[in-house]
Structure 1
């Protein structure tokens, strides 16, 4: 085949274009396959970044601090300083009353002469137990009784939801039954209501607030969702120079988001990203992504589908041109469930099933060796919490290659140093950010760690990739990928804001960062190593327009790779 004959001839040029060193051990179809996979991975990552930027950010963990909520207790006059109580009977709605609390109250108070303060303490302990678990409208009280009998009767009235109401003109856009994990008739738990409000406010069109109003019966509460009406269609656009020489340096993107047009609080977004300015036929890229998100109580269901294409024309020493083309189609379905939340933390479990189909051509001929279908299962546990005066987040995941959905299947005799379709790897993502002040100046420190450990040799689309604005800054065309690896980003910023007359203020931040990363490969002869870089920039925000300009430079580079010098980047974005 003509493409196979030209592979050795053009590999050195591939390395020059992509900034990746190619050793003699790599010469062959495996090397050009590796470069194709790097481009495919970059295209997919940048499309995903654009989709995430267009979405409203998940709110930090937070909610009412129930430890500070004090129950309002009223005990009627008992006609004496104290009354001898030989038994305590707690009745009413006690299905959720902890047995250990019941036993403790009986053990500590039965057989004593109890005064008003003692009775208030019993009611407060019962009511506070419910409040601490989120049941803020459940109360314990003393019914009419004769304490001279020696028996103290306590009645618990559980607070329940009578109904939901939506005000503000945006009631059609809210699917209360699906958004909130509680229904009319259920016990009122504040954490359920906070979860529902978070789901509602995940859409840019919503800015909902809760109001609890007395119901028609004792213990009943009307939950009012106040949500002012806004336009449900949003446009987010951006222009940047974060691309590579191989597929176009300057890129433009646009995302159209549709908020709850069907009335299920769903999100549907379409993202388009492509190389522009100048638009070249020989080095270009194009990606389109579709995302649909449906919240359902503590669960969130997501469907993603995307297609990315690239064209990279290699110029051979004899003046000939050799066109390399690639297409990647990805699909996935994700289920995420919040399993715990309180005033400072939130934890969730997720499962994602995905497929990826890659096709590549060289000189117009189909490259079977670098075209494949993969299927994956990604299971993860995630958590956010407030700690040390800042926000800490973590995600631990296990990813496994599947044989399902038409995926490539590994041969039983596949050597360990060849890529596996049925692979195994662990992933870990950590983040921490904290605000502080120095001489009355506000500062923000943030660190982000991302790493993975592979137990099999991986295809490039599953490897760790370092080098670029999203990993180790100071690099653009120079990248390293490996089966296992990590990168650590550290950034110190100083936010500021100035008033512009009576209009919207101009806000921004000045920041500097230092990043480091390292990758390693299980197969011999494949480049491994470390990268580090620094960056200095400023970001501006006025109304819905933002501009980020920065300079970055490599600090350390393996001797086999090219140092790019100082890189100047920008990103201009606007939303409507």
Structure 2
């Protein structure tokens, strides 16, 4: 079908019209001679416009008065808005070009409002009292055809595209938002193609769907633990991405240490629920995490891995506001509210709780955050970033914060600026270059949950998880990937080797010594993936710089350290 209007998913740009034949129209330059045939032509000595010779070079275009544009067929835009858009083209001495410009201005008005299947023409007419008629044809959906959906019902696909209805003019902007939100479901992707229908003003829609079973079980294994709690972490999670056939997602996960020391309890639970709001193009995330281990951990969730600083529980609420896409650029604003109740209490060998000891005080944090996320997806590169701010909407007593921050007098009210960024570039011969980093700034001391960890398997590699956490700081990972090695080794899936260099820096407020830290590491790694069922990664890092920027450097690991993670889906 010629001239399809394509609404792509969030990995492709929106194209209003791929072919000028998609909505053929008669241009005003062809129609104006007929328009002037009975009224204007006699003034120029022409009895019949159809017999008029073609304009000759150097001859001025005829002038005529345009008092008003009468727009026929419009139901989508308010009349005063149209009149305002066309008023610059009225006047006593107008010509054919002004009519053409008015036509284009009206079409542009529809385009900027998202109505890409609307076209405007100038019908054959006689100029009477300076009124020029413009005809609007609002292309409306005639037939909708679904293709490829095997695990998601036709009703589900239609509900995820509320802007696509028979008998209505599709709004490309809103429909693109529907597609973006629908494609956030990990179990399906949709693509909408609009093309010319059988009748004038009719647009047919074809919805291509790629889906898979909406539920899956996942087992994970890594070595992000410690000697005190067990070196390994074993987890299992369940996720269903079409609860009640509404694209709502539910996840539950459990993580433990299979070889923990006797008497040590390591249990991490998490629940997540995502609700897409297709009418608005947004979504809501509900999160809950509970940890019984007093060391940093991570638990999978619908909003990504949740970093857990220690023992306690976390309730989270996220509102994801998707913004209109601009070609290859997509963006969203995430509003977040957490309730973090941290049980950092300490006990003696006989079980007596220590009171008033720095670093051994339970505390409560209620961070309220807003973050802007942007993403450019191009043929050979992907760029993403996030900028946000966090304030504390509710807290424990100031004494609790003072003790929780090891006597550094952390305030109950704080402001934190946070940023993250990523860059992936495809190089010649399938090599890849990637950068990833995070940063935060606070002018005051912070409790542990709000500090940035600049060391660990997801930061500067070669260190234990959050071996260094600071009030302000940053880290950067730089990676160079080889071409895919799987085919050379006759392996299914994808296998790449990499070399990396990580570095980071951080600062602690109100600390007499060792307030500044600068660390770096370098190493090699492997990444293997087979479809969505198996994902394995391994990094071997050598710490190149492990000292603080001041005297009396604390002992930090300086040997080689290997980190691995294995994910198996069922």
1:552 counterpart = 2:541: yes
1:73 counterpart = 2:25: yes
Aligned-partner SS, 1:102? helix
CA distance in 2, matches of 1:538, 1:387: 25
Q: Hey, what does 2:273 align to over in structure 1?
A: 292
Q: Hey, what does 1:138 align to over in structure 2?
A: 118
Contact 1:180 1:296 in 2 (8 A): no
Q: 1:487 to 1:183 in 2, by over 3 A?
A: farther
Q: Hey, what does 2:458 align to over in structure 1?
A: 470
Please give the residue correspondences for 1:420-431 in structure 2 after superposition, counting only pairs within 5 Å: 420-431=411-422
1:451 counterpart = 2:439: yes
Q: 1:238 to 1:412 in 2, by over 3 A?
A: closer
- Structure 2: 5+ residue runs without aligned partners? 1-8, 35-49, 56-61, 296-308, 548-552
Aligned-partner SS, 1:146? coil
Q: Hey, what does 1:568 align to over in structure 2?
A: 562
CA distance in 1, matches of 2:505, 2:389: 20
Deviation at 1:191, TM superposition (A): 2.5
CA distance in 1, matches of 2:165, 2:371: 29
Query: TM-score scaled to structure 2, two decimals?
Result: 0.76
Contact 1:270 1:290 in 2 (8 A): yes
Aligned-partner SS, 1:195? helix
User: What does the per-residue CA deviation read over 1:181-202, in whole Å, with 9 as the maximum and x for residues that have no partner?
Assistant: 6777765222322221222222
Aligned-partner SS, 1:197? helix
User: What does the per-residue CA deviation read over 1:118-147, in whole Å, with 9 as the maximum and x for residues that have no partner?
Assistant: 866654554355346532101112234125
Q: Hey, what does 1:396 align to over in structure 2?
A: 387
Moved more, 142-151 or 189-198: 142-151
Aligned-partner SS, 1:513? strand
CA distance in 2, matches of 1:365, 1:159: 76
Q: What is the aligned-residue RMSD (CA, Å)?
A: 3.6
Aligned-partner SS, 1:86? strand
Contact 1:91 1:153 in 2 (8 A): yes
Please give the residue correspondences for 1:211-290 in structure 2 after superposition, counting only pairs within 5 Å: 211-212=193-194, 219=201, 221=203, 223-227=205-209, 230-276=212-258, 278-282=259-263, 285-290=266-271
Aligned-partner SS, 2:173? helix
CA distance in 2, matches of 1:233, 1:163: 31
Q: 1:562 to 1:498 in 2, by over 3 A?
A: closer
Contact 2:362 2:400 in 1 (8 A): no
Q: Hey, what does 2:65 align to over in structure 1?
A: 86
Q: 1:227 to 1:175 in 2, by over 3 A?
A: closer
Contact 2:260 2:266 in 1 (8 A): no
Moved more, 235-244 or 147-156: 147-156
Contact 1:545 1:573 in 2 (8 A): yes
Larger radius of gyration: 2
Contact 2:89 2:99 in 1 (8 A): no
Aligned-partner SS, 1:227? strand
Contact 2:479 2:499 in 1 (8 A): yes
Contact 1:246 1:284 in 2 (8 A): no
CA distance in 1, matches of 2:324, 2:176: 12
Deviation at 1:252, TM superposition (A): 1.9
Q: 1:398 to 1:523 in 2, by over 3 A?
A: same
Contact 1:478 1:564 in 2 (8 A): no
CA distance in 2, matches of 1:307, 1:275: 15
CA distance in 1, matches of 2:167, 2:522: 57
